[in-house]
């Protein structure tokens, strides 16, 4: 895989379903999955996001403007490329390595 490979975050449900799911998640005070809009009550999986609409591989150490780590639902993470999805442990290691540099 090439470094810096940025791809769109896929939507795995209809737009209207996503909006409904997202509204319910926000009303309940939870973050929501960027792929389906469902509530994430106990975040375990994450992606590197740019502007909330694109993602890049976990091995890409470039620090992009307007980039952040987003939680992704446990079912949707199975549909994403594995080299884009991180566990909480991997996120912590990534942050520690960035602080050292």
Sign of CA dihedral 64, 67, 69, 71: negative
What's the predicted TM-score (pTM) here? 0.86
Q: What is the dihedral of CA 82, 34, 6, 78, to 10 degrees?
A: 10
Q: What is the pLDDT of residues 17-62, one digit of tens each?
A: 999 999 999 999 999 999 999 999 999 999 999 988 999 999 887 7
Q: Please tell me the predicted confidence (pLDDT) of residue 94.
A: 82
pLDDT above 50 for 3: no
Rg of the Cα atoms in the chain: 14
């Amino acid at each position: 895989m090439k470094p810096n490979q940025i791809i769109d975050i896929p939507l795995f449900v209809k737009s209207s379903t996503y909006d409904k799911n997202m509204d319910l998640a926000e009303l309940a005070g939870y973050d929501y999955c960027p792929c389906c809009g469902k509530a994430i009550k106990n975040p375990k999986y994450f992606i590197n996001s740019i502007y909330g609409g694109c993602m890049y591989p976990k091995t890409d150490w470039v620090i992009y403007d307007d980039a952040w780590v987003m939680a992704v639902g446990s079912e949707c993470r199975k549909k994403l490329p594995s080299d884009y999805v991180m566990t909480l442990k991997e996120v912590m290691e990534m942050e520690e390595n960035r602080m050292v540099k």
